[in-house]
Homo-oligomer: A and B are copies of this chain.
Amino acid sequence: MSGKLWIVGLGPGDAAMQTPQATEALAQATDLVGYFPYVDRVAQAPGQVRHASDNREELDRARLALTLASQGRAVAVVSSGDAGVFAMASAVFEAIDQGDPAWRELDVEVVAGISAMFAAAARIGAFLGHDFCAISLSDNLKPWKLVLRRLRAAAETGLVMALYNPLSRARPWQLSEAFGVLRESLPPHTPVVFATAVSRPEEQIHVFDLAAADPARADMRTLVMVGTAATRRIERPGRSPWVYTPRFAEDAASS
């Protein structure tokens, strides 16, 4: 098989945060495949065919990309952020695992990108300065009980959290229930970040105390990050505070 498949992380949105490796792959691709707002982010190259599709069709999109590559095309599947973080890379490998054995002979290259959580943490200081985790709150692909077990474990062991897909129209109550669980073990002053469209013109980043964090301020595009008992604000006169998690930690449970 002579086709090529790149799975490309575009970064959070600002072209200055897209790697040269990603830019080069996009320039070489004969076909772009992806969720339409991400495909729209890529400058049109002459002769390049664009296959934009709706959300929640990851496996179909992966199979289309693999089929095109197996026909000899040079295909770039595009994701926002990093291609391997709640994005298209795992869907493509699932499709390969379950699909045509010939797909295993394709030249597949995953191109890493700047994830939303790294970009958001950088904008406000060093929020992920210590051990951390990334959890999707969506229960489309896993039981909600498991999400809650993970949130409890992260809060009880002091991991900073990046919460992806915090809610949707079909499950508007999830972030609220998640905050309820986190409030059982984290102090009321724990910083919570709501970050939307980081690095893009419409960027919005707000920091609240966990006690006052209002789930209604988030939508499906919001990344929510929750600190630990040790996460600190640095107040600045006339400007928004920096927020960081120190590198050192004590073991509250064993003291």
Q: A118-B112, A141-B247 are in contact. Are A129 and B97 (CB under 8 A)?
A: no
Stretch at the interface among A86-94, A174-182, A188-196: A86-94
Contacts of A114 in B (CB 8 A): 19, 82, 112-114
Residues of A within 8 A of B (CB-CB), count: 80
In the complex, identify which listed stretch (A29-37, A207-215, A234-242) lies at the interface while the others stay far away: A234-242
Q: Give Cα A160 to B92, complex, Å.
A: 19
Complex Cα distance, B141 from A250, in Å, reads 8
A11 at the interface (CB under 8 A from B): yes
The interface residues of chain B lying within 8 Å CB-to-CB of A154 are 133, 153
- Confirm or deny: A3 has a beta carbon within 8 angstroms of a beta carbon on chain B: no
Within A203-255, which residues are at the interface with B (CB < 8 Å)? 232, 234-237, 242, 244-251, 253-254
Indicate if A45 sits at the interface (CB-CB under 8 A).
no
Q: Which residues of B contact A237 (CB under 8 A)?
A: 104-105
Measured between alpha carbons, how far is A250 from B147 in the docked complex, in Å? 10
Q: Quick one: which of A134-175 are within 8 Å of B by CB? A: 134-136, 141-143, 145-146, 149-150, 153-154, 156-159
Is residue A130 contacting chain B, with contact meaning CB distance below 8 A? yes
Q: A65 at interface (Cβ–Cβ under 8 A)?
A: no
Residues on A lying within 8 angstroms of B by beta carbon are 9, 11, 14-21, 24, 58, 82-86, 89-94, 96-97, 104-105, 108, 110-115, 118-119, 121-123, 125-136, 141-143, 145-146, 149-150, 153-154, 156-159, 232, 234-237, 242, 244-251, 253-254
Leading 5 A-B pairs by shortest Cβ distance: A90-B129, A133-B133, A89-B126, A110-B122, A93-B244
